Chain A
Amino acid sequence: MSLQTPRILPAHLNTFHPSSSGPRSTHTIRILGTVTNLRGDQATITCGNNGDVTLLLKPDSHLQMGKLVEVVGKVTDLDGGQGLGIRVLGTTDWGNPADCDYKIYEQVVEATHRFKSIFYDAE
């Protein structure tokens, strides 16, 4: 048994929040976005036309402004009731966002959730 990390869009954060109903086996997710803001231990990524997500970084996270990153992390509450964010476990730099067709990623998220059986165990 190994850890599964479903690929999601910002709209799905709620579903993977620890407090959401159902004994979901994982709150660890993968998300793809462009780094649009960096401040101290927080960063913001923009996920195509699907909105922004706040990341809580690790001390050894190396993010660069304007780069496309894939984030593996846990869905968590932000301080001061600012909604949901992601506590980063790891990031992968994919370079220039222009080289990625975000529409394809949206389709990937759609396909991986619709035909779940080959991607993720039922929660």
Chain B
Amino acid sequence: MDGGYNSYGGGGGGGGGFMPGEMNSPSGGKGGDRDNKTLRPVTVKQIVDASQPFPEANYQVDGADVASVLFIGQVRNISSQSTNVTYKIDDGTGEIEVKKWVDSALADSMDTDEGKVAGESKNEIELNGYARVSGAIKSFGNKRYVGAHNVLPVKDINELHCHILEATVVHLFFTRGPPGSANAGASAGAAGDAVMGGAEDYGAGQNRAVLSMSPLAKKIYQLLKTEPQDDTGLHMQQIASKLNTPATDVARAGEELLGAGVIFSTMDEQTWAILEY
């Protein structure tokens, strides 16, 4: 479990297993959530506000689990210890402590202090300079901090601004859904026009299950959505003639939609309507 998780941070995160706070940290629960390898752009305030549904659970921001976070802020304090470096990062929305484990492999390969300085000069973090931090939200006792995979200096202010806007976009994605879906309900007709276009994916975005289905299943879903019909929906033969597709193909795609529970059969097995709730 640890191996898979730590591979993210390379050697840098390798020492994480020895952290005294590990028992209380959420990383224990991460093993069951291997699919969530996303790196989310956030503000420090979002980290401070992140909730934990129960102790040792994954932290959540905007109701979605976060595996790793990415943020940019100013370094207000640097404190070097033998095993780790602790930074205090302030991005104008809050302040958070960041711990970066000293890469022992790297330190060993550079015997002298001078060698170390020369090797790190490119990536040197300066006091009151800006830094980009990627890592996982952890806690030790009641204190929240970020276990950093990486702490790198930021030299281009556009990078900072881009990050802030990116964090806003991701926040809106989780709180309001994918772009376009807000309008898709109001203008279902418009979404229907773009049956084969890229916009269709967002139109169907109201029902995520449909996104992964065959093109024909998507077409049927769109048709059921946009075609004028009574409460009983449309018969398979009607759908087949409207889409100009063999009835057997329609039946197969219909099975897909029925199986996923996005449509249901009404009068008989061959008459379908969209399941809306």
Chain A residues in the interface with B (C-beta under 8 A): 2-7, 30, 32, 68, 70, 90, 92, 94, 99-101, 104-105, 107-108, 111-112, 115, 118-121
Contacts and interface: CB of A to CB of B under 8 A. Distances in A.
Interface in B83-102: 90, 92-95
Contact of B161 (A105, A115, A120, A121): A105
B92 A6 contact: yes
Interface residues of B, number: 24
A104 B165 CA distance: 9
Given A94-B157, A119-B92, 16 more contacts: A3-B90, A3-B95, A4-B45, A4-B93, A4-B94, A5-B92, A6-B92, A70-B157, A90-B128, A104-B162, A107-B165, A108-B164, A111-B164, A111-B168, A118-B168, A119-B93
B167 A99 contact: no
Contacts of A105: 157, 161
Contacts of B164: 108, 111-112
B145 interface: no
Given A90-B128, A92-B128, A120-B45, A104 B161 contact: yes
Contacts of A70: 157
A108 B90 contact: no
Contacts of A3: 90, 95
Interface string B117-137: 000000000001110000000
Given A6-B92, A92-B130, A119-B43, A111 B156 contact: no
**List of 4 A-B pairs having minimum Cβ-Cβ separation, nearest first:** A2-B95, A5-B92, A104-B161, A94-B157
A118 B71 CA distance: 13
B175 to A, nearest CB: 9
B90 A99 contact: no
Contacts of B43: 118-119
28 contacts: A2-B95, A4-B45, A6-B92, A32-B157, A70-B157, A92-B74, A92-B129, A94-B157, A99-B156, A100-B158, A101-B161, A104-B158, A104-B161, A104-B165, A105-B161, A108-B161, A111-B164, A111-B165, A111-B168, A112-B164, A115-B168, A118-B42, A118-B45, A118-B93, A119-B45, A119-B92, A119-B93, A120-B45
A115 B158 contact: no
A3 B44 CA distance: 12
Contact of B157 (A4, A6, A68): A68
B144 interface: no
A68 B28 CA distance: 45
Contacts of A108: 161, 164-165
B48 to A, nearest CB: 8
B155 to A, nearest CB: 8
Contacts of B167: 118
Given A99-B156, A100-B157, A108-B161, A120 B93 contact: yes
B46 interface: yes
B90 A2 contact: yes
B171 interface: yes
Nearest to A99: B156
Nearest to B46: A118
